[in-house]
Amino acid sequence: MQPTGTVWTTLIEDHPGIIPVKFGQNQISEEMLFKEIVDARTHTRPDAGHWRITKAHLSTSCSGELKRLCELCLSGEVEDEIHFVTSCKRYDNKRKAFYDTILSLNKHFGNLTKKDKFIWLFSNENKDVLLNLATFVYECYQLRGSVIKEYQA
């Protein structure tokens, strides 16, 4: 899938070739970063099968709602994309840093509801917002995977 629109065109023109981008101790290429952004903008998750909300949706049991609750933060909230990005306590530290950056780009961001924050982030065309969103989602998804592996061990 090729990026479209002026933001993506500018991003590609400004960074010809593959440019390493640092995420913590790992390096990923611009191509991989673009894939992360697309994953983030389309459905927040590279592998939908790992989300309890998806499993509960596919479940035929009557207790599907209980299976959808986030087990990473034990908040009693359903684990969905909005919860993952805006309220799961497991990612509070990463979210605070991310929101601080976003607030420097949009001073009104803090006044939005969780749902409106989610919509604003995922419908945004600003490359700084998108790169920070992709970084946040990538790092949280990595953390989520390691926590789930610990639970399963």
Residue 56 lies in a domain: no
Q: Is the pLDDT of residue 52 over 70?
A: no
Q: What is the mean pLDDT of residues 127-142?
A: 94
Give the model's pLDDT for residue 60: 43
**Model confidence over 17-37: pLDDT tens digits?**
434 444 444 555 555 665 665
Residue 96 lies in a domain: yes
Residue 70 lies in a domain: no
Residue 123 lies in a domain: yes
pTM of the shown model = 0.60
Write 32-39 long-range contacts (CB < 8 A, 24+). 33/131, 33/134, 34/3, 36/134, 36/137, 36/138, 37/130, 37/131, 37/133, 37/134, 38/1, 39/137
Residue 58 lies in a domain: no
